[in-house]
Amino acid sequence: MNDVKLAVLGGEGTGKSALTVRFLTKRFIGEYASNFESVYSKHLYLEGKQLNLEIYDPCSQPKKAKFSLTSELHWADGFVIVYDISDRSSFAFAKALVYRIREPQTSHCKSCVLHFRAVESAVLLVGNKQDLCHVREVGWEEGQKLALDNRCQFCELSAAEQCLEVEMMFIRIIKDILTNFKLKEKRRPSGSKSMAKLINNVFGKRRKSV
């Protein structure tokens, strides 16, 4: 069974818990306790595979820890970054998170394969609370541009009103993560045969040129 680890990040009150709970239970619950973090588990059958999905939904974090993200980068295979389309400051927060995830990693995070070409983490940027479009502060194009510029997927939706769209959004990021697993597998030489090939490539070439 494949383990898939997904972190749902974003500014305070953007609807991280609402989206996660909507996906897991199909229900929208108006208020959530926001002073503790949760890791939810769900078994899924997708693309012919049994998956053990874990979703990390953090509590609103203290200001100083906002952009460190070190443990999340290490833990997660992919990220859903949420902002509230009716709150510009939440978009600025989401932007900083995207930049943090996409900046080159020096430690051993999952988006970084040190020996071989890196496979970037899957990231989906979500403009939530689309039902509040009459008080919109962030344009659809702005979200789309931020996503495009940083190799992320993008969608706008409403956790409050759209059950199917929320489900499709999670399935989309999980599929991207599975694609990344396949890419990483392809790029990793496995076993002694591949190691021999690698040694031969490095030393074999040198011998020829002497």
Closest to ligand GTP by CB, 111 vs 128, is 128
- Rounded to whole angstroms, how far apart are CA atoms 163 and 66? 29
Beta-ladder partners of 98: none
Which one, of 84, 49, 54, lies nearest residue 157 by Cα?
Answer: 84
Shortest Cβ 81–ligand GTP spacing (Å): 11
Q: Which residues contribute to the site for ligand GTP (CB under 6 A)? A: 10, 12-18, 30-32, 34, 59-60, 128-129, 131-132, 158-160
Reported as type and span, the H/E element at residue 172 is: helix 163-187
Closest to ligand GTP by CB, 118 vs 160, is 160
Please check whether residue 83 is in contact with residue 139, taking contact to mean a CB–CB distance below 8 angstroms: no
Closest to ligand GTP by CB, 8 vs 152, is 8
Shortest Cβ 111–ligand GTP spacing (Å): 23
- Rounded to whole angstroms, how far apart are CA atoms 140 and 130? 10
Please check whether residue 86 is in contact with residue 140, taking contact to mean a CB–CB distance below 8 angstroms: no
Closest to ligand GTP by CB, 47 vs 161, is 161
